[in-house]
Structure formats: C-alpha cells, structure tokens
C-alpha cells in the first residue's frame, strides 16, 4: 500500500523510474538520497560514484558490486563553475558520414538535466562488467519528487567544500592590478578636468 501511495504521488515517468529494479539484489543495501540543489556537478558526481561502487564501506572489493542505491533529486538545480555552461559540449555520432552531433551543457540542462549527472557519474566508473549493474542503482530525478518514499531513505551529507587560499604571489598581482586600475581612473578624471579648464580659458 505504501509503495502504491508513493507511486501515485509521483508525477514523472514511473516506468522509467522503476526500470531494472527487479534485476538488483536489494537485500542489505541502503537507499542514499543526494540533493543536487546548489552542488557543483563534478564534486557531486565523485561522491555518487564512491557510494555506488561501495568504496565507503570496509568490505569493498573491486570484483564485487556492494554499492548502495543512490537517488539524486533536484538535478535541474545543479551548478557548474567557470564558463562550463556554454563551453562544455557533448558529442555523439549517428553512424552516418559527417553526422557528428554536438550539444552544449546549457542546452542539455534545458532538454534533460538528469542525463548531465548520469554521464558525469558513469564516466567516473571503471569500464568493466559491473558498470551496467551500478548504472541501475543510480536513480536521478529533475525535481524533488520520487517514487521511493516507502523505502528507508538516508540523506547523504556532502563534505564541506575546501576553498584554497590565494597564493601570496597571486594576491600581490591582484592588488597591483587593482591599484593600477584606480590610478588610471583617477588619471582619466584629472585629464577630463584639465580639458574642461582649457576649453573655458579658450572661450574667455
């Protein structure tokens, strides 16, 4: 009954959300929930790939699939740094001659934001026979709604982001650039004032 109630409240593609669950041995697995809102794409994907491989467990072995189920919500609110939103491009080929397709990260986020996180996570996983099984354990949703409300969910706490302090040489260069910009602005104002004074003298 609880599963049916959770499924009825979910407004997305239920068939796609529940696809492949029967092929996963859910006994002993935890259901970890990742909230992608405000998280950096690469840092979030690295944490998901660690959990989905089971590397956070003391019983980890590279030949066994002991990873937990990973549910990612709010995929549409994930963030990127720098100019990746316009500069990062996804390529694929249709198989026909000259049919190399491309799509920017901005367009992909507008089309399907769940695919952005899925590709980031899958490209961090090793290319072996366990790859498909680990892919089935990853469930990504664009909004905060998902059909797994009847499961014992555990929210995953992202580690705090460590921002490296600016190096002394870079800090000194930044201060010099700021001072130079201020001097140029002051010099420009003084030149304008001198030009105005010269114009008034000529007019007199």
Interval 68-78 mean pLDDT = 94
Residue 64 lies in a domain: yes
Residue 2 lies in a domain: no
Work out the angle at residue 141's Cα, subtended by the Cα atoms of residues 136 and 142, and round it to the nearest 5 degrees: 145
Do residue 194 and residue 126 come from a single domain? no
The pLDDT of residue 53 is 95
Domain count, the chain: 2
Do residue 101 and residue 193 come from a single domain? no
Do residue 120 and residue 51 come from a single domain? yes
Do residue 27 and residue 125 come from a single domain? yes
Q: Are 132 and 67 in contact (CB under 8 A)?
A: no
Do residue 113 and residue 136 come from a single domain? yes
Residues in the chain, overall count: 204
Q: Are 35 and 73 in contact (CB under 8 A)?
A: yes
Enclosing domain of residue 54 = 13-155
Do residue 174 and residue 147 come from a single domain? no
Whether pTM > 0.85 for this model: the answer is: no
Do residue 131 and residue 186 come from a single domain? no
Residue 8 lies in a domain: no
Do residue 116 and residue 193 come from a single domain? no
Do residue 148 and residue 182 come from a single domain? no
Q: What percent of the chain has pLDDT over 70?
A: 86
Do residue 108 and residue 19 come from a single domain? yes
Higher pLDDT, residue 193 or 128: 128
Query: What is the average pLDDT value for the chain, to the nearest integer?
Result: 87
Do residue 101 and residue 137 come from a single domain? yes
Residue 34 lies in a domain: yes
Integer Cα distance of 12 and 76 in angstroms: 14
């Amino acid at each position: 009954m609880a599963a049916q109630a959770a499924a009825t409240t979910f407004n997305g593609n239920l068939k796609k959300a529940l696809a492949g669950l029967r092929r996963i041995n859910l006994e002993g697995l935890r259901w970890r929930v990742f909230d992608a809102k405000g998280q950096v794409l690469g840092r979030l994907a690295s944490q998901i790939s660690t959990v989905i491989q089971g590397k956070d467990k003391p019983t980890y072995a590279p030949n066994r699939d002991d990873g937990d189920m990973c549910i990612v919500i709010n995929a549409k609110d994930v963030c990127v740094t720098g100019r990746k939103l316009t500069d990062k491009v996804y390529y694929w080929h249709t198989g026909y001659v000259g049919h190399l397709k491309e799509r920017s990260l901005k367009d992909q986020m507008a089309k399907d934001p769940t695919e952005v996180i899925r590709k980031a996570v899958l490209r961090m996983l090793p290319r072996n026979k366990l790859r498909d099984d680990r892919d089935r354990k990853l469930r990504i949703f664009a909004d905060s709604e998902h059909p797994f409300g009847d499961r014992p969910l555990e929210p995953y706490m992202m580690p705090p982001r460590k921002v490296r302090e600016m190096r002394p040489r870079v800090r000194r260069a930044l201060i010099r650039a700021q001072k130079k910009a201020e001097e140029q602005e002051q010099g420009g104002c003084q030149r304008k004032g001198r030009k105005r004074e010269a114009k008034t003298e000529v007019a007199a």
